[in-house]
Structure 1
Amino acid sequence: MLPPKLANSIKNMISPETRDTIYRLFLTDGRRHWKGYAISFVFMGVMAGSTSGLAYLMGDVINRIFVEQNSAAIWILSGTVLALSIIKGFSSYGQAVTLAKVGNRIVADNQKRVLDRLLAQDVRYFGANHTAELMLRFNAGAQGARNVLNLIITSLGRDLLSVIGLTMVMILQDPFMALIGLLVMPIAVGGVRSLIRKVQKIFSREFHSAVQIMTESLEAFQGIRTIKSFTMEDPLRVRINGRIDALEKASNRMIRAQSQSGPLMEALGGVAIGLVVMYAGYGVLHAGRTPGEFFSVITALLLSYEPAKRLARLNIDMTSHLLGARMLFEILDMKAIEQDEPGTPVLQLKGGQIEFNDVYFGYRENEPVLRGLSFVAEAGKTSALVGPSGGGKSTVMSLIERFYEVESGSIAIDGQKTNEVTRRSLREAIGFVSQDVFLFSGSVRENIAFGRPSATEEEIIAAAKSAHAHDFIMTFAEGYDSRVGEHGAQLSGGQRQRIAIARAFLKDAPILLLDEATAALDSESEAEVQKALRSLQMDRTTLVIAHRLQTVVNADRIFVIDGGRVVESGCHDELVARRGRYFSFHQLQFAGQQERLSA
């Protein structure tokens, strides 16, 4: 049992937040993998016992062989030492492999749990949190949980058991010498205690600096075209280099703080060894004690030095990993915003009529984008949304798929409110092609197959042909196996757009949302894709956003949206005849086209 002062010192070193984090880790990951930790603990116990046995044998080695000069003892003691060393070696291997396997399983499980929790968040969450910080949390959190548990288990099983075993050897050989060696522990604990708060503050600053560096670097790489176009390399280099220099200084402060425990332990260890040598030497020369006792205690003291040092700095070593574990719990404790309540019905699609009824919505508080928007997109027909930028047209698309929740009003499909059906059934009924095409860094085939992962090769090729993408895909050296690069960087804008359209063809959903789907195409490609889209729109409810009015003149109904409301609706001819807002847009666009043609 620890002395009361030492126990209180250790207790005060651990903050309530640290205790809560460690307790939760043991209740979750520790409980799930207790068998693996128990096996590892047994291996470490055998290691500690072997180490203690070797230290104890040093007394017999010195006394029986070198003092008594017993030749038979040479073989017995040498064989025992060899056997203990082999046992210790196999135990070390066993605990290392077992602990590594448990740790890798914890990392894998936690990364899956974090991924599930992040995927259950809505689009608003990802808009408010930078990708760089999410990636750091994703990796550091899972690693932190493993490292905290591994540090504690190894400290208890390997280091603490070794110190206890070696202390018992010292007590058996000479209690007073053992007392001298143990006097350094309270001093070491007290000295390290003052470093912990300093390390925690430094590491917190270090983490935020790392997030800033990753954030700005990631944005630099993704925005490289803009950077080069505006010749921003030098100011960007200066800014990021400044962040890196600041992180380097913080890291150096961290190293200095962490390393301060080393000299303390070295000095205290030297004092303990010096006192033991002084006492033991005097006892051997003047008090008739055997040299074996002296060497056994010295061996035990030297062997206990490293595990004692690791125990003394355990809290410091855990600081960074504890922060990672807390970040893990922050994500796991988030409410799963996109998790449907049990028993939520699926969307029962009949025709696909979409109805907005007095919908209000804003991305930020007190800044509404939609102000009482109402309209009906009839089933099986094509409806178009036109109007000035910022009027809320793309927001309509996002609300239909429930990327965001409306503040008031309702959106219904075939009379079923979209917030009262499962998100999965809702989104499975919708095909979406945006002007901001996102392609994953896989092959052309993989990106098209996202529309329907179970699709056959023939269906993928048919979808590509329908989107007028097959011909340019076959010009690639690897055809459909060609890599598209990060965000589709290996393709032109028109090629990316047509692959996205092929993905929508493959999904073959009864409701189709087209947000400037042909905006990136040249005139010839646009004409071809418009033909394909018209065939895709047959017998489907289609909602189209277009700034170029010639792409929506054939829509069954056109809604003019301005200021978050529908200000006009009708077919193309009706709206032109009214000479209202639509007519103004029409005149501006076609007058501009005529001027360009005459020029």
Structure 2
Amino acid sequence: MKRLKLLLSFMKGNRLLYIGSIISIGLATLFSILSPLVLRLTVDSIIGDEPFDVPNWVSTLLSYIGNRDDLAQKLWVFGLAIVVFTLFRGLFLYYKGKWSAIASESIAKNIRERLYDHIQHLPYDYHVKVDTGDLLQRCTSDLETIRRFLAVQFVEIGRALFMLGFVTTVMVSLDIRMTLVAMAVIPIIFAFAVIFFMKVKRAFQLSDEAEASMSTVLQENLSGVRVVKAFGRQKYEIEKFDKKNREYRDLTYRLIRLLAAYWSSSDFICLLQIAAVLVVGVYWASIGRITLGTLLVFITYEGMLLWPVRQMGRILTDMGKALVSLERIQQILDEPIEKHEKHENKPEIKGNLEFKNVYFGYDKDSPVLKNITFKVEKGQTVAILGKTGSGKSSLVHLLARLYDYQRGSIKIDGVELKNIDKKWIRQNVGLVLQEPFLYSKTLRENIAISKPIDKESEVIEAAKAAAIHDSILEFEKGYNTPVGERGVTLSGGQKQRIAIARTIINNYPILIFDDSLSAVDTETDSKIRRTLKERNKDATTFIISHRVSTLAEADLILVLDKGRLVQKGTHDELIEQDGLYRNIWTIQSSLEKDYKYKIS
């Protein structure tokens, strides 16, 4: 029921087209059953001597042409009638196909837009955990399954019902006993289709999930192709993909075998039904129980009737696939989007920050940050140092509200962070990650992607501040140089500097560098920090780094260990204290001295 409601919501704005398609298929069905009746009239009452067994309005119409002898001389009239009925049938089938195709494409567009919009508003935590390949498969293959069902089989349900209703009514009016013979196996075929539907639905779900798993492996391999090449993992990756590919093939073979079993069995039952009608009909016609024209009608109608009833298996199969696909899409739409509370506001962000007894954990029972307390004034630079897994990135992610803290308080310019609109805070907090994502666009477009601008000078100034301008000019096309997917044509340091330029072009009041200077040399690191300080004097800056030389110039240094703030202060203060900071400073200074000694 839930999936049906979802489908109906997607059909909003296109229901009239489907109603038109169903009416068209009904009229096409009506004209298709009229042709055999014309043939029966011609054989029994025009060529033969049976009395006219037609409605009064048809008798009146025929009287205008002439009596029986005149009609016998004008058989072309009945041929013309069959041609006209066939033309009308074709016309309505055309409109059925046209309107259902337009409606299904429009619905597919609605689903894509709704899915894309919903995915864009899902929390950061969802995107971190979800398999991209599986998500893509749901947004493409599953959506296409729904579109095909709506374009073809959905309207075919109406055709089957119309055909069953019209043909049964006419056959009963002609001969009730012959109708019973003609309808004998239809309940069996229908029951067989329902049983088949229950089996094929599960088979398709397994095949669909296997395809999603295979797509995930393919997506990961293509995204990490440099890692695969670097470690010579081609054989392992091929074997991993081959395993998923075989699983998908085997499950799809099972689905195909079920389909083959259904079609061959239903074909056999349908042929038996046609044979029964033919044998019984010929016998009854030979002894005069039914007329020859009636026999021709029943033989023709039997083919018309059995095809849509047999088609119910395909309809139910595709419906089963569509329901599975709808369920997979429903699972995405059921994911809660980021909440925007009514009390959230958009204060002016200057950069004064205060953390007070802050606790946070991805799992509420396992806190990553514990009792974090510190204060930062506008324009200060804050450096964060700590071992891997100590909570450095988690701390700065809280500032951008990628996650919300469970306990404690974070205030920006005196306003509780949880009370500030998420979109607004992200427009005022610039975050540069250690592994930046670059789009398959030009360098200029990547730098200006977060701030559509017309002035070339702003792009160049940002590039200079990020110490990437000279490197860009060395490329043949300069700022118009296309960047490969995920920036594969650039070095790690170049990608980081492009990401820095993309961030600082917005002049954010709060800047966060999450180990995003790790791939540049010490001299370039120092130059970038110095330029940023001159460019954004009033910006509050957070720098996560393992380089003590980078941290030393900060106004405040925070040292994290196992989620706790174990040290804080300036460089001079911390090297006087026994702790993690002084230990790292001592090690790095010693290594630097040894290196300089060896060079000299």
TM-score by length of 2: 0.90
Aligned to 2:324: 323
| SS of equivalent residue, structure 1 residue 357 | strand
CA distance in 1, matches of 2:452, 2:313: 54
- Shifted more, 33-42 versus 173-182: the winner is 173-182
Aligned to 2:483: 484
CA distance in 2, matches of 1:428, 1:327: 33
Is 2:15 the partner of 1:34? yes
| SS of equivalent residue, structure 1 residue 507 | coil
Aligned to 1:346: 346
Aligned to 1:582: 581
Aligned to 1:192: 193
CA distance in 2, matches of 1:88, 1:190: 30
- Quick one: structure 1 residues 382 and 288, their matched pair in 2 at CA, closer, same or farther if it must change by over 3 Å? closer
- Shifted more, 474-483 versus 124-133: the winner is 474-483
The one-letter code of the counterpart of 1:595 is D
CA distance in 2, matches of 1:72, 1:533: 100
| SS of equivalent residue, structure 1 residue 383 | strand
| SS of equivalent residue, structure 2 residue 358 | strand
Aligned to 2:88: 87
Deviations 1:246-272 (A, max 9, x none): 221111111111222212321222222
Identity of aligned residues (%): 28
- Quick one: structure 1 residues 421 and 179, their matched pair in 2 at CA, closer, same or farther if it must change by over 3 Å? same
Contact in 1 for aligned 2:382/2:554 (Cα 8 Å):
yes
| SS of equivalent residue, structure 2 residue 575 | helix
| SS of equivalent residue, structure 2 residue 403 | coil
The within-5 A match list for 1:369-380 is: 369-380=368-379
| SS of equivalent residue, structure 2 residue 559 | strand
Post-superposition offset of 1:510: 0.9
The within-5 A match list for 1:45-64 is: 45-63=26-44
Post-superposition offset of 1:418: 1.0
CA distance in 2, matches of 1:159, 1:136: 32
Contact in 1 for aligned 2:358/2:370 (Cα 8 Å):
yes
CA distance in 2, matches of 1:442, 1:62: 73
Post-superposition offset of 1:428: 0.8
Aligned to 1:104: 105
Aligned to 2:419: 420
Is 2:444 the partner of 1:445? yes
Deviations 1:454-508 (A, max 9, x none): 5544433332233233333344444434331221112221221121111112211
The one-letter code of the counterpart of 1:397 is V
The one-letter code of the counterpart of 2:22 is F
Deviations 1:124-178 (A, max 9, x none): 2222221122222333554455455556641332222123223334334433322
The one-letter code of the counterpart of 2:342 is P
CA distance in 1, matches of 2:417, 2:3: 42
| SS of equivalent residue, structure 2 residue 440 | coil
Contact in 2 for aligned 1:347/1:426 (Cα 8 Å):
no
- Quick one: structure 1 residues 455 and 513, their matched pair in 2 at CA, closer, same or farther if it must change by over 3 Å? farther
Post-superposition offset of 1:355: 1.4
Aligned to 2:126: 125
Aligned to 1:181: 182
Post-superposition offset of 1:426: 0.8
The within-5 A match list for 1:148-297 is: 149-150=150-151, 153-287=154-288, 289-297=290-298
CA distance in 1, matches of 2:364, 2:343: 32
CA distance in 2, matches of 1:288, 1:246: 59
CA distance in 2, matches of 1:462, 1:148: 54
CA distance in 1, matches of 2:169, 2:374: 84
CA distance in 2, matches of 1:371, 1:566: 8
Aligned to 1:75: 76
Post-superposition offset of 1:527: 4.3
CA distance in 2, matches of 1:226, 1:345: 44
CA distance in 1, matches of 2:321, 2:425: 43
Q: CA RMSD, aligned part only?
A: 2.5
- Shifted more, 67-76 versus 381-390: the winner is 67-76
Deviations 1:521-573 (A, max 9, x none): 23454344333322233111111111111122221222222222222222222
| SS of equivalent residue, structure 2 residue 557 | strand
Alignment size in residue pairs? 578
| SS of equivalent residue, structure 2 residue 431 | strand
Contact in 2 for aligned 1:387/1:547 (Cα 8 Å):
yes
The one-letter code of the counterpart of 2:341 is E
The one-letter code of the counterpart of 1:324 is S
Post-superposition offset of 1:64: 6.7
Post-superposition offset of 1:199: 1.7
- Quick one: structure 1 residues 61 and 453, their matched pair in 2 at CA, closer, same or farther if it must change by over 3 Å? farther
Is 2:557 the partner of 1:561? no
CA distance in 2, matches of 1:216, 1:140: 16
Task: Name stretches of at least 5 consecutive residues in structure 2 with no aligned partner.
Answer: 50-68
- Quick one: structure 1 residues 487 and 54, their matched pair in 2 at CA, closer, same or farther if it must change by over 3 Å? same
- Shifted more, 173-182 versus 66-75: the winner is 66-75
CA distance in 1, matches of 2:204, 2:214: 15
- Quick one: structure 1 residues 269 and 533, their matched pair in 2 at CA, closer, same or farther if it must change by over 3 Å? same
- Shifted more, 436-445 versus 180-189: the winner is 436-445
CA distance in 2, matches of 1:516, 1:422: 26
CA distance in 2, matches of 1:537, 1:561: 27
Aligned to 1:501: 500
| SS of equivalent residue, structure 2 residue 374 | strand
The within-5 A match list for 1:463-542 is: 463-523=462-522, 525-542=524-541
Post-superposition offset of 1:78: 2.5
Contact in 1 for aligned 2:390/2:563 (Cα 8 Å):
yes
CA distance in 2, matches of 1:389, 1:540: 27
CA distance in 1, matches of 2:562, 2:9: 51
Contact in 2 for aligned 1:148/1:318 (Cα 8 Å):
yes
Contact in 2 for aligned 1:170/1:178 (Cα 8 Å):
yes
CA distance in 2, matches of 1:122, 1:158: 44
| SS of equivalent residue, structure 1 residue 484 | coil
- Quick one: structure 1 residues 375 and 45, their matched pair in 2 at CA, closer, same or farther if it must change by over 3 Å? same
CA distance in 2, matches of 1:45, 1:543: 69
CA distance in 2, matches of 1:84, 1:100: 24
Post-superposition offset of 1:101: 1.5
CA distance in 2, matches of 1:141, 1:278: 46
Task: Name stretches of at least 5 consecutive residues in structure 1 with no aligned partner.
Answer: 1-19
The one-letter code of the counterpart of 1:24 is K
CA distance in 2, matches of 1:157, 1:199: 22
- Quick one: structure 1 residues 559 and 261, their matched pair in 2 at CA, closer, same or farther if it must change by over 3 Å? same
Aligned to 2:66: none
The one-letter code of the counterpart of 1:41 is I
| SS of equivalent residue, structure 2 residue 541 | strand
- Quick one: structure 1 residues 232 and 428, their matched pair in 2 at CA, closer, same or farther if it must change by over 3 Å? same
The one-letter code of the counterpart of 2:113 is K
CA distance in 2, matches of 1:79, 1:445: 69
Contact in 2 for aligned 1:173/1:296 (Cα 8 Å):
no
Contact in 2 for aligned 1:386/1:559 (Cα 8 Å):
yes
CA distance in 1, matches of 2:83, 2:470: 73
CA distance in 2, matches of 1:189, 1:543: 68
Contact in 2 for aligned 1:188/1:264 (Cα 8 Å):
no
